Structure 1
Amino acid sequence: MKYRTLGSTNLRVSVVGVGTWQYGGEWGMTFTQPDVDAIFDAAREAGINLIDTAECYGDHLSESLTGNAIARDRDKWVLATKFGHKFHEPFKRSEPRSPDDVRQQLEASLKAMKTDYVDLYQYHSWGDDKFFDDDVLAVLNDAKAAGKIRHIGNSIGSNRNAKQVEASQRMGIELIQVVYNRLDRAPEEAGVFDLCREQNLGVLARVPLASGYLSGKYTTASEFPENDVRSRWHKPEDRAAKLTEVQRIAEEELPAGVPMAQWALAWCLKHPAVTCVIPGCKNPEQVHGNAAAADLDLVSDDHPQAATAGRAD
């Protein structure tokens, strides 16, 4: 594994993390605690130390499964979660975003994760109309002063939202999470990555495998079950177009002998703005496969020494 410093946070994070949306039940599978425990055992073996979860991956379900899995060595992990949504049932959410809502969500997340602090607490796809709320920011700063939050982040809903990214330093935000992959390069085109580099913001690239389309497992004939987000929120014509492009990439860009998923993760990590990728994983084998992306020549480590713990106190 290779490690990088996450922007101005002074946290040392593995270049490959673990995304956990799938544990909330919207990716065609139901996960038990032993399933999740096995995944995090594999992450430990691979040297992964960053986890990204959220309040609405189930009703704090992913947070709870994750918290149980890392309870014995919580201080070894950089734990990131988000706020601003409320899960009601699969694929249905509301957006409680008042200062009191944010305060309550933080307490619920800490309880679910069985921890007294979160390393990275991120706005979760907020529109500009609510994002620039000084009262919400005051709640976050109070929680930070109380030691419940170590760093504030922003998981931007649109990967072209330069307006929010530009305001990061002023708002005390040290981390941006954004969709970025070989099929979606909007953060490059919209100047988002330039702004991140100018402000020394850590960057987590979410959906780095384009919802699994860059895993190399699917074709234009592939079908997804009703309880899989790709059948509910992705239009068939969009899936087909993406998978057609994936086939072209496999034929023209993929180095011989390199698994597509590993190459796709490494492709993201070669961008100088990106600190870490956070692919989802459904089993220990996928964890090890994702982690192997760090071994490819496209990926560098910004320090010669490896991190020994998630905390940088």
Structure 2
Amino acid sequence: MRYTTFGRRSGLRVSELALGTGNFGTGWGHGAERDEARRIFDGYVEAGGNFFDTANGYQAGQAEVLLGEFLGSQRDDFVLATKYGLGTAPGAGIAHTGNNRKNLVRAVEESLKRLNTDHLDLLWAHITDGMTPIDEILRGFDDLVSAGKIHYAGLSNFPAWRIARADLLAELRGWAPLVGIQLEYSLAERSADRELLPMAEALGLGVTQWSPLGGGFLTGKYRAGNDDSRATKLGMLVHGEKSARETAILDALLGVAEEQGSSATQVAIAWLLHKARRSSTTLIPILGSRTREQFDGTLGALQVNLSDEQFERLSTASAIALGVPHEQALEMREPFAGGRDLQWPTVPVI
């Protein structure tokens, strides 16, 4: 396992793969029982991983409890990240959800108890509630940093414009800076290429990427019709072969996997790692296995070395239209590339 600092806004040292604990426990009616969760935890640590991602709502709080137990006396050997905002118990009401300061402080105290620790290395606002002013969130983060309850903070599943504004606001007011963002990203879901990833690279924010297998779609198993249980349980979190683009992705993925003598799962993760090594900021896929067998298979991605041609083939098959204004901006910049005469393109008057 390789290590890196989490973006350019911190010196926090993390492994190139994080372990997500959304499957630790059975509070949602599916997941890993304690002993299986422990085997996954041990496999990750044995591989050299040190970056754990959880949330107060995962498995109705069971994930944090189990992770805290597993970390035990070695707590400070690892980087521990959790989230607040969506509530813990199913059906949590308005007093226990949202980005507001009241919920932030309460949620952190409850997470610290479940995790059996007195501090968090990284706290995420889990998802924007669309209502809480961004300065309220940032000031809450800053107070928690000052109190030693958290070391770093970031925003998960927030739009780029809110993150960019928050980044500047924290800098201008001298508050604890945002160090990273969390978002969905994979060969199946590349919407972040439009705004979020360019923003993170420009601002030096670290990025953690959830659902790197598209909810299991990129394993190829749904194409064969062998396993639809996860798709039934998780619904929108699972991508499907619904268009020519998804078909092209799977065709390219399975083709590269055959060439590599690897699984589609391993190649999908290897593509993310290859992309991360080309980036000037930190991109960390979050593995979220339900069994030790699944985890061991996924971890094989570390042994897959994609050629540049294979990487580009997968990138081309999975590419999305960048849309306005990005594609127009690329066209406008074209005359300035390659040392040619500088002439503005003709722009029609609308």
Structure 1 residue 9, shift from structure 2 partner? 1.8
Residues 263-278 of structure 1 aligned to structure 2 (within 5 Å): 263-271=267-275, 272=279, 273-278=281-286
Q: Which residue of 2 aligns with 1:259?
A: 263
Distance 2:300 2:131 in 1: 41
Q: Can you give the 5+ residue segments of structure 2 that lack an aligned partner in the other structure?
A: 171-176, 308-350
Which residue, 160, 163, 181 being the options, matches 1:165?
A: 163
Distance 1:16 1:201 in 2: 17
Structure 1 residue 191, shift from structure 2 partner? 2.2
Higher relative contact order (CA 8 A, sep 6+): 1
Contact kept, 8 Å, 1:55 with 1:109, in 2: the verdict is: yes
Q: Can you give the 5+ residue segments of structure 1 that lack an aligned partner in the other structure?
A: 300-313
Structure 1 residue 14, shift from structure 2 partner? 1.1
Query: Which has the larger displacement, 248-257 or 174-183?
Result: 248-257
> 1:36 is paired with a residue of what secondary structure?
helix
1:57 aligns with 2:32: no
Residues 1-313 of structure 1 aligned to structure 2 (within 5 Å): 1-7=1-7, 8-25=9-26, 29-89=30-90, 95-130=97-132, 132-157=133-158, 161-170=159-168, 171=170, 172-188=177-193, 190-219=194-223, 221-225=225-229, 228=230, 230-234=231-235, 239-241=240-242, 244-245=247-248, 247-254=250-257, 255-271=259-275, 272=279, 273-298=281-306
- Per-residue deviation, residues 127-173 of structure 1 (Å, max 9, x unmatched): 4432x33233222211111111010011115xxx2212323422321
Structure 1 residue 253, shift from structure 2 partner? 4.1
- Per-residue deviation, residues 249-282 of structure 1 (Å, max 9, x unmatched): 3344434312211111121122214421102012
Find runs of 4+ consecutive structure 1 residues off by over 4 angstroms: 235-238, 242-246
* TM-score (norm. length: structure 1): 0.83
Contact kept, 8 Å, 2:138 with 2:166, in 1: the verdict is: no
Distance 2:153 2:70 in 1: 24
Contact kept, 8 Å, 2:160 with 2:196, in 1: the verdict is: yes
Query: Which has the larger displacement, 175-184 or 121-130?
Result: 121-130
- Larger radius of gyration between Structure 1 and Structure 2: 2
Q: Which residue of 1 aligns with 2:347?
A: none
- Per-residue deviation, residues 41-89 of structure 1 (Å, max 9, x unmatched): 1111111111110011122211111111111311111111101011333
Query: Which has the larger displacement, 79-88 or 280-289?
Result: 280-289
Aligned length: 289
* TM-score (norm. length: structure 2): 0.75
RMSD, aligned CA: 2.6
Q: What is the letter of the counterpart of residue 15 of structure 1?
A: E
Structure 1 residue 238, shift from structure 2 partner? 5.7
Distance 1:56 1:120 in 2: 16
Shift in alpha-carbon separation, 1:70–1:84, aligned structure 2, 3 A: same
| Larger proportion of helix | 2
Shift in alpha-carbon separation, 1:80–1:61, aligned structure 2, 3 A: same
Distance 2:127 2:237 in 1: 24
- Per-residue deviation, residues 84-143 of structure 1 (Å, max 9, x unmatched): 011333xx565343311110000000100011111110011114432x332332222111
Q: What is the letter of the counterpart of residue 197 of structure 2?
A: F
